[in-house]
Amino acid sequence: MNFNSHSDMVVAIAVALVNVLTPGERRGRPYQVPEGEQRREAVAEAVRARREVTDEEAAELAGYAPDLRVVFEAVAAGDLDHAAGTLNRLLVDTRARPHLSHHDGEPWHVHFHGTDGTFGGDYAASCATGLAIVLGSELHDRLGVCTADRCDRVYVDVSRNGTRRFCSTACQNRVKTAAFRART
């Protein structure tokens, strides 16, 4: 799957932000959103920032993460109307809009946010647009929530045949091991 390299990248960032910034369960254990420096570092890694992220910026993205999670949950539940409605609201709230940019020696490329926004708002706008491109395509069912026991981390399925069901190989292996134990 490859929509184009920029939208693939922002969808991957949306997955990383939801998984870092929403509480729940991860690979069989309760998951709490980190605080302070740990949250700043986790957000910087999730968005692949080239500089440090401030508390305010991490907090702003933490504010958007639950809505981004709703999109994955709604698609996984087959409720595309809810996913689309949530994304349309996010696109307005984050003031998402296409904008051609030309920086750091790169060729002209489309950014999904304006030029006068905040760090957190701009990333949220990009994530919402990337997810909207997926949802509006024939590959809309590629957004998912891990189906392993005691895990609710999200993923985007970029496999050729679209058969991914888990957030990670760790969860895939947990399920395989449990199935093996149940048989023996």
> Which residues are near Zn ion by CB under 5 A?
146, 148, 151, 153, 167, 171
- Using the minimum distance from each CB to Zn ion, give the nearer residue, 57 or 73: 73
Q: Which is nearer to Zn ion, 101 or 173 (CB)?
A: 173
CB of 18 to Zn ion, least distance (A): 12
Residue 153 near residue 19, CB atoms below 8 Å = yes
Is the Cβ of residue 98 or residue 162 nearer to Zn ion in the bound state?
162
Helix/strand/coil percentages in the chain, nearest 5:
55, 10, 35
DSSP string, 2-53: -S-HHHHHHHHHHHHHHHHHS-EEETTEEE----HHHHHHHHHHHHT-SS--
CA distance 141 to 107: 32
**In the complex, minimum distance from the CB of residue 28 to Zn ion, in angstroms, rounded to a whole number:** 8
Closer to Zn ion by Cβ: residue 14 or 146: 146
The C-alpha atoms of residue 60 and residue 173 are separated, in whole angstroms, by 35
How far apart CA 112 and CA 46 sit, in angstroms, is 17
Helix then strand count (H, E) for the chain reads 6, 6
| Residue 65 or 148 with smaller CB distance to Zn ion | 148
Q: Closest approach of Cβ 167 to Zn ion, in Å?
A: 3
Copy the structure tokens of residue 54.
């401030």
Task: Output the smallest distance, CB 182 to Zn ion, in A.
Answer: 19
Q: How far is the CB of 32 from Zn ion (least distance, A)?
A: 16
Cβ atoms of 123 and 14 closer than 8 Å: no
